Structure 1
Amino acid sequence: MAVVSTEQSSPEQADPERAAAEPPPDEPRVRSRKLLALLFGVAVVALAVDIVTKVAVVANLEGRPPVRLLGGLLYLDVLRNPGAAFSLATGMTWLLALLAIAVVGVIIWLAPKLRSPGWAVGLGLVLGGALGNLVDRVFRAPGPLQGHVVDFVSVFAPGGAVWPVFNIADSCIVSGGVLVVLLSLLGRDYDGTVHRRNKAAENDS
């Protein structure tokens, strides 16, 4: 008497190669969480370094002569900046504070959609830098949304004679922005999509 099997093979058993190629159902969630941790971890470190350095230079160097470092390559010269990064847009402090809040909001909204480690690092640097200067604008004199940002790094000469005086937050914003632009030029989007322009051009030709 023949025995008829009632067991149905699963898709994995029917096509083992396909099963091996497809990621486990939870893998995208785990990857997303790791990228979120990377983004906010970078932001927290950037923010912490910015706050600590500002507190240190204000407590020890404000009102004193500039400190010469690296044979004159850098100077520590504390200035209060009412403008944007590198002393731009002076006199628009409240608008810059609102712009920083908007930037923070956009990055937080975009964060769950990230699928690229490079974008996570770049946006983390921008987020940490934006928050660092925003803290100054909210909590420093002369008042909320009008606070002057503490700048203290001057290159080649004191007082920003060669290049505007900046801080760690400014450096993070610029570095993160450059990284994001570079990734975009290389065809790597925040969602992990890679645009292979060279291959597309070859196919067209």
Structure 2
Amino acid sequence: MSTDTPPARTPRRYFWFVLVIALVVIVIDQASKWWAEMALGDGEVIPVIGDLIRFQLVYNPGAAFSIGEGFTWIFTILAAAAVVFIVWYARRASSIGLTLTLGLLLGGAATHLGDRLFRDPAFARGHVVDFIAYGNLFIGNIADIAIFAGAVMLVVLTVRGARADERATPDDAA
């Protein structure tokens, strides 16, 4: 008995895709940070698009815009909580959109957690390596881009009324 409907993907299968996407984000982020420390470690600034986008190495002890520089350990706890929550929630994912969203968020949160745990100046108080300067607004990294993209996608999915446990329909694939 043949049907034109493709088999539905199980939440478990989507969960593995979340982990793969997160791993890709982690590898790209950490490789780019390694490059930044090697290429920009001597204080060099590399213009990419004039002064609008440039590469400039900084070590950020705080959150976005260096907020809360004296509370690095709190950001470590928040990053760990985010990783645990996203992994827990990702087990329910059953759509491609949510899988991509959660993978980006998990990868960004996990690589920030790794920076907080294992970078100088001390365990659980490490500074995040930032190197992509956006004018004079802020300096970020690849993980920040993944987190931002994941957050925007989450808002779009929420506005569209998507839920974690929705099953993909044949129309979704088209």
Q: TM-score, normalised by structure 1?
A: 0.75
Q: 2:57 aligns with which of 70, 78, 86?
A: 78
Letter of the 1:186 partner, please give it: R
Can you list the C-alpha shifts for 1:106-159, whole angstroms capped at 9, x where unaligned?
111112211121111111101000111111111111111100110001123xxx
Count of matched residue pairs: 168
Letter of the 2:76 partner, please give it: A
Q: Which residue of 1 aligns with 2:40?
A: 61
Letter of the 2:61 partner, please give it: P
Q: 2:69 aligns with which of 90, 113, 116?
A: 90
Letter of the 1:191 partner, please give it: D
Q: Which residue of 2 aligns with 1:178?
A: 152
| Structure 1: distance between partners of 2:36 and 2:47 | 14
Structure 1: gaps of 5 or more residues: 1-15, 195-205
Alignment CA distance shift 1:44-1:111 (3 Å): same
Instruction: Specify which structure has the higher proportion of strand.
Output: 2
Letter of the 1:148 partner, please give it: H
Q: Given the alignment of the two structures, is residue 105 of structure 1 paired with residue 79 of structure 2, yes or no?
A: no
Q: Which residue of 2 aligns with 1:140?
A: 119
Letter of the 1:88 partner, please give it: I
Higher RCO, Cα 8 Å, sep 6+: 2
Contact 1:113 1:190 in 2 (8 A): yes
User: Which is higher, the Rg of structure 1 or of structure 2?
Assistant: 1
Structure 2: gaps of 5 or more residues: 169-174
Can you list the C-alpha shifts for 1:27-53, whole angstroms capped at 9, x where unaligned?
56x532331122111101111000000
Tell me the secondary structure at the aligned position of residue 114 of structure 1.
Answer: coil
Structure 1 stretches of at least 4 aligned residues deviating more than 6 Å after TM superposition: none
Contact 1:57 1:152 in 2 (8 A): yes
Q: Which residue of 2 aligns with 1:34?
A: 13
Contact 1:94 1:145 in 2 (8 A): yes
Q: Given the alignment of the two structures, is residue 51 of structure 1 paired with residue 30 of structure 2, yes or no?
A: yes
